[in-house]
C-alpha cells in the first residue's frame, strides 16, 4: 500500500511540472527569441521599458512579413511542376521586395535603439553588431 501512494505522489508532481513547463513554452504574447538588446547593452530602467516596447512593436511588424515571405517561398518552390517563367519571376520579385522591407524595418529599429542609448552603450551596440555579423559569415567550402 505504501509504494502505491509514493508512486501516485510522484506522478502528480511530474504532471504538474510538465504542465508548468508547457505553459512557459507557449505563453501567449511573448516573442520567442532572446532579448538581444536589453540584456547585452545593460539598459537602465526607463531605457529598458522603452526598448521592450520597441522590441514588441518591431516583432509585431516583422512577423507578418515573415509569414508572407514563407508563403511566397512555398508558392515558388511548389511551382517546379510549372513552366511558367513569368510566375516564377514575379514570385522572386515579391520575395525580394518583402526582404527589402524587413531590412528597412530592422535598420529603423536599430537606429531607434541606438538613439535610446548613451555613448558607452552606443559603442557596445556597435561592437555587438560587428560581432554578430562576423559570426554569421561562413567559411568557404572546399
| Confidence (pTM) | 0.66
HEC secondary structure over the chain? CHHHHHHHHHHHHHHHHHHHHHHHHCCCCCCCCCCHHHHHCCCCHHHHHHHHHHHHHHHHHHHHHHHHHHHHHHHHHHHHHCCCHHHHHHHHHHHHHHHHHHHHHHHHHHHHHHHHCCHHHHHHHHHHHHHHHHHHCCCCCC
Query: pLDDT, tens digit, for every residue of 92-138?
Result: 999 999 999 999 999 999 999 899 888 888 898 898 888 877 776 66
Whether the per-residue pLDDT at 32 is higher than 80: the answer is no
Query: What residue ranges do the domains of the chain occupy?
Result: 37-132
What average pLDDT does range 60-69 have in this prediction? 94
Provide the pLDDT for residue 1. Answer: 55
pLDDT at 74 over 90: yes
- pLDDT 10s digits, 36-54: 667 777 788 888 888 888 8
- Yes or no: domain 37-132 corresponds to CATH 1.10.10: no
Amino acid at each position: 500500500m505504501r509504494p502505491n501512494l509514493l508512486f501516485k505522489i510522484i506522478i502528480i508532481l511530474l504532471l504538474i511540472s510538465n504542465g508548468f513547463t508547457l505553459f512557459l513554452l507557449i505563453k501567449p504574447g511573448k516573442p520567442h527569441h532572446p532579448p538581444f538588446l536589453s540584456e547585452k547593452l545593460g539598459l537602465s530602467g526607463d531605457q529598458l521599458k522603452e526598448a521592450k516596447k520597441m522590441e514588441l512593436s518591431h516583432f509585431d511588424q516583422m512577423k507578418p512579413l515573415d509569414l508572407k515571405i514563407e508563403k511566397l517561398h512555398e508558392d515558388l518552390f511548389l511551382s517546379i511542376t510549372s513552366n511558367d517563367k513569368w510566375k516564377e519571376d514575379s514570385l522572386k520579385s515579391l520575395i525580394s521586395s518583402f526582404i527589402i522591407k524587413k531590412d528597412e524595418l530592422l535598420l529603423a529599429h536599430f537606429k531607434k535603439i541606438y538613439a535610446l542609448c548613451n555613448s558607452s552603450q552606443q559603442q557596445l551596440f556597435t561592437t555587438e553588431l560587428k560581432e554578430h555579423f562576423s559570426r554569421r559569415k561562413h567559411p568557404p567550402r572546399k
